[in-house]
A = this chain, B = another copy of it.
């Protein structure tokens, strides 16, 4: 869709030797031309990284001027020194845009337990500040600067016309496993020129994250650094969004968040399939989500899809241990549109055809319907492959 940079944002991505490979960017700087609303949604892991602690303390905010991101080192499990490093990284970014203390947010991703190379990061921030811009190339460099084991950059954008204003929402993200090979995390930064107050932005981001990043997994391992930020600078002008205007904005924000989340699941380490799991007919959202997660994280479901095996028993039995009450005789399953199981009983189906449809498509659709109510959820995951094992078993040795 429309991946342009929203008004009032400038970006850069550079290589500053956090990563060894000089071809790989490892630092991203995003600057707002005015104090902006900034809100975040963070990992629920009790063992959370220093940048998460710093950003939590600074959001929601109505005065954000910069976001600085480094990849290669997660600055997680680094104690007091790690916190001080995160603060210093923010200070360096603030200095580049003439901002005061507490106006920058910080994201880090990479190895757990190592300290940030602060001298290189200082050089990187200074170099990035000289390259700031708002072109497609700038946006792509910024998206590249946050990657670790990702194989592709992840960007999504939407333009939405609200009254006489054209509002742009553009996000960049990284993540190839909820936690990669000793690399932590998924990160996303969503930028918009919409005028939003912090409370409204926080509510909108939380809701979008619940529909997108919180409905996605690769291996079920929650990282120490997961962060999604929304920065809204209001450069599109006009009054703060509210009512129907806000609803239009939020619908577009949902789309951006979902597109980024799907991009992460699709780039799951070693994956050969992007699996969409649609759960319907549950008593409430929590029930639907619990079932979706349990199915998504079953290694047996994931390997079956990798093997193009329409193994409905694994899917139905995974739902059965999600700690959610349901009537087993009210369960119906479709796989890639084909009915495999109806009202708690297997039905005749063309296994070879379903297997072929799994094998021939990167996208797999699992639709599991229950008879308890009307709540539904859509969840994305990757399959489990020998390549995932190789990537994660051979990381250090």
Is A259 in the interface zone, CB < 8 Å from B? no
Is A386 in the interface zone, CB < 8 Å from B? yes
Q: CA–CA, A46 to B162, complex, Å?
A: 48
Is A244 in the interface zone, CB < 8 Å from B? no
Is A298 in the interface zone, CB < 8 Å from B? yes
Task: Give the shortest distance, in Å, between A80 (CB) and chain B (any CB).
Answer: 10
- The reply to whether B219 and A299 form a contact with Cβ atoms under 8 Å apart is yes
Q: How large is the interface on A (under 10, 10 to 19, 20 to 34, 35 or more residues)?
A: 35 or more
- Residue in B closest to A394 when the chains form the complex, CB atoms: B307
- The reply to whether A46 and B300 form a contact with Cβ atoms under 8 Å apart is no
Is A231 in the interface zone, CB < 8 Å from B? no
Q: Which B residues are CB-close (under 8 A) to A345?
A: 77, 79
Is A148 in the interface zone, CB < 8 Å from B? no
Q: Which residues between 293 and 342 of chain A lie within 8 Å of chain B, taking CB atoms?
A: 297-301, 303-304, 306-309, 311-314, 316-321, 325-326, 328, 331, 341
- The reply to whether A79 and B344 form a contact with Cβ atoms under 8 Å apart is yes
- The reply to whether A221 and B317 form a contact with Cβ atoms under 8 Å apart is yes
Interface string of A340-374 (1 = CB under 8 A from B): 01001110000100010001000000000000000
Is A212 in the interface zone, CB < 8 Å from B? no
| Number of copies of chain A assembled together | 2
Q: CA–CA, A79 to B316, complex, Å?
A: 14
Q: CA–CA, A395 to B325, complex, Å?
A: 30
- The reply to whether A346 and B77 form a contact with Cβ atoms under 8 Å apart is yes
- The reply to whether A389 and B386 form a contact with Cβ atoms under 8 Å apart is yes
Task: Give the shortest distance, in Å, between A15 (CB) and chain B (any CB).
Answer: 25
Q: Which B residues are CB-close (under 8 A) to A299?
A: 219-221, 299, 384, 388, 392
Q: Which B residues are CB-close (under 8 A) to A179?
A: 300, 314, 317
- The reply to whether A221 and B307 form a contact with Cβ atoms under 8 Å apart is no
Q: Which B residues are CB-close (under 8 A) to A77?
A: 313, 316, 341, 344-346
Is A76 in the interface zone, CB < 8 Å from B? yes
Q: CA–CA, A304 to B341, complex, Å?
A: 37
- The reply to whether B346 and A307 form a contact with Cβ atoms under 8 Å apart is no
Q: Which B residues are CB-close (under 8 A) to A320?
A: 45-48, 222, 224
Q: CA–CA, A317 to B224, complex, Å?
A: 6
Interface string of A218-257 (1 = CB under 8 A from B): 0111111000000000000000000000000000000000
Is A182 in the interface zone, CB < 8 Å from B? yes
Task: Give the shortest distance, in Å, between A300 (CB) and chain B (any CB).
Answer: 5
Q: Which B residues are CB-close (under 8 A) to A308?
A: 397
Interface string of A115-130 (1 = CB under 8 A from B): 0000000000000000
- Which A residues fall within an 8 A CB radius of B? 44-48, 76-77, 79, 111-113, 177, 179, 181-182, 184, 219-224, 297-301, 303-304, 306-309, 311-314, 316-321, 325-326, 328, 331, 341, 344-346, 351, 355, 359, 384-386, 388-390, 392-397
> What 10 A-B pairs are tightest by C-beta distance, nearest first?
A307-B393, A112-B313, A47-B320, A386-B386, A303-B392, A222-B321, A45-B320, A46-B320, A219-B299, A303-B393
A-B pairs with beta carbons under 8 Å apart, 30 shown: A44-B321, A46-B319, A46-B320, A77-B316, A77-B341, A77-B346, A79-B345, A112-B313, A113-B346, A177-B300, A182-B311, A184-B313, A184-B317, A219-B300, A221-B298, A221-B300, A221-B301, A221-B314, A221-B321, A299-B299, A299-B384, A303-B388, A304-B392, A304-B395, A309-B396, A355-B396, A359-B397, A386-B390, A388-B389, A389-B389
14 extra A-B contacts, CB within 8 A, seeds A77-B313, A77-B346, A222-B320: A45-B321, A47-B328, A48-B320, A77-B316, A113-B312, A113-B313, A182-B314, A219-B300, A220-B298, A220-B299, A299-B384, A303-B392, A355-B396, A385-B389
